[in-house]
Amino acid sequence: MSDTPSSRKRTEIDVSRILFEHYAGTEAPCVVVFCGIHGNEKAGIKAVQRMMPFLKKGMLKGSLYVLTGNIPALINDQRFIDMDLNRVWSRNMTSLNAAKQKRISENRDRKEILGIISDIRKQVLGPLYFIDVHTTSAASIPFITIDDALINRRFTKVFPVPVVLGIEEYLHGALLSFINQMGFVSLGFEAGRHDDEQAVCNAESFLYLVLDVAKIAVLEERTLALHKERLQRLTLGRRHFYEVIYRYGIQEGEQFTMRPGFRNFQPVKKGRELAESNGKVIRAGKDRVIFMPLYQQQGEDGFFFVRRIPSWVLGLSALFRLLRLDAVLAWLPGVSWIDGEKQGLRVDLKTASFMAKSVFHFLGYREVVEDEDHLLVYNRERIARKERYPLRYSRP
């Protein structure tokens, strides 16, 4: 690549695979941060660069690794090259023949990241936390996304931002879902809009809070309060849990354009024009809350709808999961365990049509695969490494 002004601008950030690493011992807590899984989302990298003076002081009590994601896409300032790096963490990717894998640019990044994750897993026996920093194409307050597991809920509820769960049911092959299936805490942090300097500040504040909550570092009270207040002020008191209830998926060849001006968590009235698809207007069928509207060229997710989850529902579902009352489902006609370890259920589609999806969600099951005859749903609670994590977190 020639050293033109535009190329220098594209590569002004550090695109080394490992931006920072500090190992504090086998039993120490460990945080792994991913930045730039999408190449046009650089806020996480910039935030870590700002934090370097603090990180290099030698005051860390736990282990910390900061990894970059899609390096070729970061250099070219685009979401991905051949495939979305946040959609390749599934069995479908590993089953591709070697020739096809070699043609996919993201496969090299995937292999390198997977190797580092494997090495970290071997070295760390204490609490292990995976954080994926993103930004959005629409204007947004900062928020967290998680797969719906209790170990994720416990960790994320102490942060002063909204938490959105259940997105794994709509986004297949996501990195965090892949990690959560190993039984570890994993969460995504959406810092704000791609090109907004505030998103870098938000990512910095969130990562400082993560270090404190996970006991990687102990922040001074004044520093802790500053970063906590920054996020509290921006989220406008929306410290709630939300659930994804709908995804508009863009089909191959579809001409999709989002109507301008929508923001994350914005209420929309029934009949409101949301987007245009192949010349036809898409309207809201009911009063909804819109989430992650698409305002960029690359991407397969047009928009989502979310709804707030009452605190009593969260509490009751947690109790039922701890008591493993989901075993009752396996007694129903047309329902059976997938395997002897009881990690998931095979549900006859005729039976599934009579059961509300919310029942499965309440007990910790999310849809993974649907074939001609069955729905396969998996429960993250049965594979969670609960013994490695605290039952409660203090601060912030």
252-261 tens-digit pLDDT: 889 999 999 9
Name the band, by pLDDT with cuts 50, 70 and 90, for residue 2.
very low
The pLDDT confidence band at residue 112, using thresholds 50, 70 and 90, is very high
Cross-strand partners of 348: 374
What pTM was estimated for this model as a whole? 0.90
Confidence of residue 100 (pLDDT cuts 50, 70, 90): low
Superfamily, domain 5-239: Zn peptidases (3.40.630.10)
Q: Beta-carbon neighbour count of residue 357 at 10 Å? A: 15
DSSP 8-state code for residue 327? G
Q: pLDDT > 70: what percent of the chain?
A: 93
Residue 46, pLDDT > 60, answer yes
Distance between CA atoms of residues 107 and 96, nearest Å: 11
- CATH number at 242-308: 2.40.50
Say if residue 19's pLDDT is above 70.
Answer: yes
| Per-residue confidence (pLDDT) for residue 32, from 0 to 100 | 98
Is residue 1 pLDDT above 70, yes or no?
Answer: no
User: What is the β-pairing status of strands 128-136 and 185-193?
Assistant: parallel
Q: Where are the domains of the chain?
A: 5-239, 242-308, 325-378
The residue type found at 158 is V
Mean pLDDT of 123-148: 95
**pLDDT the model gives residue 370:** 67
Q: For residue 3, is pLDDT > 50? A: no
Q: Is the dihedral of CA 196, 197, 198, 203 positive or negative?
A: positive
The mean pLDDT of the chain is 89
Residue 61: both structure tokens together: 């009590």
Among residues 70, 96, 90, which one has the least CA distance to residue 82?
70
DSSP state of 181: T
Compute CA 58 distance to the chain's CA centroid, rounded to the nearest angstrom.
29
What type of residue is 90?
Answer: S
Q: Which residue(s) pair with 229 in the sheet?
A: none
User: Cα–Cα distance between 9 and 136 in angstroms, integer?
Assistant: 21
pLDDT for 349: 82
Please, what is the end-to-end C-alpha distance for the chain in angstroms?
Answer: 45
Distance CA 73, CA 11 (A): 11
Secondary structure percentages of the chain, helix, strand, coil, to 5: 35, 25, 40
